[in-house]
Chain A
Amino acid sequence: MTTATMTNTGVLDLSALSLREANETLQAATEGAFTIVNPGGRHAIACGLEHPVSVTIEGHTGYYCAGMNKNADVTIRGNAGTGLAENIMSGTVRVTGDASQAAGATGHGGLVVIEGNASARCGISMKGVDIVVGGNVGHMSAFMAQAGNLVVLGDAGEDLGDSIYEARLFVRGTVARLGTDCVEKEMRPEHLAFLADILKRAGMDADPRDFRRYGSARTLYHFKIDNAGAY
């Protein structure tokens, strides 16, 4: 990591710059604020950022926008394609519109906010990230989710939390069907407090008491013949 501070505030126009040039600039900057215009649905925009820079993308992005983000604050003013903020470590990634499949997949930390809807497999294999979705999430969301929190203000599709480990799921609307080994759990004061805090950080207006909590029944934690039907 470079010790010299590199501030480079400016506008990056993806109709003029190559993706590599834009990402190189963003990755090298150690602080500052950038705006990306004409993203044109390009893939892997603003991925691999390490430093606390702020990036606003004016328009729609393709796959893996802000992938593996660390420390940076990325806002997409539009919709995002597959794998938004996949494997995010820290920082914040926000989409004002909808996000496609596998948003926040395998994320280890940080916050992902999707103001619209998220498609299938939102939060798949999540490992500590917090994800807040203003609308609905598609089927198989939080599949094999290991840690972190998925907060859904709308409805959840089928097989929510299938084969879930220790992640916590909060849904305000309906759940079409819970996945294998995912069960409803009691809302305790600490969960309400957590929800109040994360909703505030996500800039969402909702009452924590309207949510239900889901998590692992932990019956699949050991291979047992009695579970054969569940696998």
Chain B
Amino acid sequence: MTDQSNPPPKAPPRTVPVKSATFDDVTLSEIRRAAATGIYDIRGGGAKRHLPHFDDLLFLGASMSRYPLEGYREKCGTEVVIGARHAKNPIILKTPITIAGMSFGSLSAQAKEALGRGANAAGTSTTTGDGGMTPEEREHSNLLVYQLLPSRYGMNPDDLRKADAIEVVVGQGAKPGGGGMLLGQKISERVAKMRTLPEGIDQRSACRHPDWTGPDDLEIKIQELREITGWRVPIYIKVGASRPYYDVALAVKAGADAVVLDGMQGGTAATQNVFIEHVGIPTLAAIRPAVQALKDLGMHRTVQLIVSGGIRNGADVAKALALGADAVSIGTAALVALGDNDPVWEDEYRALGTTAGAYDDWHEGNDPAGITTQNPALAARLDPVAAGRRLANYLNVMTLELQTIARACGKSHVLNLEPEDLVALTVEAAAMAGVPLAGTSWIPGRPD
């Protein structure tokens, strides 16, 4: 018989096993991967870590002292003109949401076509990328921005003269200071030919331009580009967000008509993970210094600021514009609208050792959605017409969301949004965006 008052001895209570916040599962798996392979991790996409972002800002909306506009009845303009500083033919966008530069090579021809179709329907521009301009993308984009990159792959004066604008790429938010890479799996015969490289090799793009170094040289380079194109088209300079005040000031000095500023959340086709996650600053932190540089030079709204890196919806667009941008650019979100990372392909993502929403091995060319690939069978899965329609829908939704917010703030044009319309939810965001912490008049780092 057991004595109820004397329970048998048990193991003493123990603390549940604790995993380190420093050495978390992801970190541990990366150490094991590095130890096994001896090579750094390369992936696509932008910074995945949590960063201060547009979600940390809110609009105040109209109140006793501000009149809202009537939704659907009172006009709220969205048209934006880019590049009137020097160009005879500036770009006129119906909506201030453009498609960022993504190369043919990193994307399939079908994906490039779909981007053009979607952008056309929404009245906005698309951009070429490292590797040159394909006839298809020129044909399917009413407004096409032609990138001049350090590699100069596929660069030629005929395409330059066909472009509606030229974008001199100094850097990208995902990798400020880094060159490009396109791994052999994606160097198909056509991609190799366009880049004048052997098929199937791992291709490296330079990180510095071959024929100019500093901003003084760039000024002369821009003069050459203008002479070749008869001063017709705008010339943008794209920089990754790192020292935005100085970079924007120097871009203006070099003669840019517009500056594209890409924050660290900005996507890439293929870059070292360590680069993506640890170099550059968040989009939110970059906008105010950039706008300040333009204002200090008397160039705000004369030289347009196009902001990219983690733009997902109309609210993000509205916040970027309120902080002083003239337009935004989207890469990742546009690919998602086409069908990237769609759960319909979950079985195939599983087979690749990942899951929908996390798939970022865009450099490997096995994209089940047929977007970041040169494999003809996979690429054929994307119907450019239907995908273009989805992108157009998405761009239209973002524009409507942007107008909804602008009207709520009493603005008859989206460019009338201003920092005064915003507050921040966190001290960090308040400091970076230069707007008060909600419910206070406190802007960290600013004298009262």
Contact with B along A84-107 (1 / 0, CB 8 A): 001101000000000001100110
Bound form: Cα–Cα A11–B288 in Å = 51
Can you offer 22 A-B residue contacts whose CB atoms are under 8 A? A20-B227, A20-B231, A23-B227, A24-B230, A27-B230, A43-B223, A44-B223, A48-B157, A48-B227, A67-B224, A68-B156, A68-B157, A70-B157, A70-B158, A83-B212, A86-B210, A101-B211, A102-B211, A144-B204, A221-B198, A221-B202, A225-B39
B426 lies within 8 A of chain A by Cβ: no
A33 lies within 8 A of chain B by Cβ: no
The segment from A51-59, A122-130, A131-139, A190-198 that touches chain B is A122-130
B155 — which chain A residues lie within 8 A by C-beta?
Answer: 87, 106
B89 lies within 8 A of chain A by Cβ: no
B151 lies within 8 A of chain A by Cβ: yes
Bound form: Cα–Cα A62–B224 in Å = 11
CB pair B196–A128 under 8 Å, yes or no, is yes
> A68 and B221 in contact (CB under 8 A), knowing A125-B206, A125-B210, A127-B196?
no
> A147 and B217 in contact (CB under 8 A), knowing A82-B211, A225-B39?
no
Chain A interface mostly helix, strand, loop or mixed?
loop
CB pair A63–B201 under 8 Å, yes or no, is no
- Interface contact tally, CB-CB below 8 A: 103
B184 — which chain A residues lie within 8 A by C-beta?
Answer: 222
B161 — which chain A residues lie within 8 A by C-beta?
Answer: 48
B405 — which chain A residues lie within 8 A by C-beta?
Answer: none
B224 — which chain A residues lie within 8 A by C-beta?
Answer: 43-44, 47, 63-64, 67, 83
B220 lies within 8 A of chain A by Cβ: yes
CB pair B227–A47 under 8 Å, yes or no, is yes
B160 lies within 8 A of chain A by Cβ: yes
A124 — which chain B residues lie within 8 A by C-beta?
Answer: 210-211
**Interface residues of A, Cβ cutoff 8 Å to B:** 19-20, 23-24, 27, 43-44, 47-48, 50, 62-64, 67-68, 70, 82-83, 86-87, 89, 101-102, 105-106, 108, 121, 124-125, 127-128, 143-144, 146-147, 163, 165-166, 220-223, 225, 228
CB pair B160–A68 under 8 Å, yes or no, is yes
> A64 and B220 in contact (CB under 8 A), knowing A20-B231, A48-B228, A222-B184?
yes
Bound form: Cα–Cα A163–B229 in Å = 32
Chain A CB count within 10 A is highest, among B152, B183, B227, B229, for: B227
CB pair B228–A67 under 8 Å, yes or no, is yes
Bound form: Cα–Cα A225–B160 in Å = 38
Contact with A along B214-236 (1 / 0, CB 8 A): 00010011011001111100000
CB pair B202–A222 under 8 Å, yes or no, is yes
Of the candidates A62, A106, A165, which one forms a contact with B211 in the assembled complex, judged by CB atoms under 8 Å apart?
A: A106
B231 — which chain A residues lie within 8 A by C-beta?
Answer: 20
Say how far A188's CB is from chain B's closest CB, in angstroms. 20
Say how far A24's CB is from chain B's closest CB, in angstroms. 7
Chain A CB count within 10 A is highest, among B157, B224, B228, for: B224
A87 — which chain B residues lie within 8 A by C-beta?
Answer: 152, 155-157
A102 — which chain B residues lie within 8 A by C-beta?
Answer: 210-211
B197 lies within 8 A of chain A by Cβ: yes
Say how far A120's CB is from chain B's closest CB, in angstroms. 11
B8 lies within 8 A of chain A by Cβ: no
* CB closest chain-B residue, reference A81: B220
CB pair B198–A165 under 8 Å, yes or no, is yes
> A165 and B151 in contact (CB under 8 A), knowing A19-B227, A121-B210?
no
Bound form: Cα–Cα A19–B227 in Å = 9
CB pair A64–B210 under 8 Å, yes or no, is no
B38 lies within 8 A of chain A by Cβ: yes
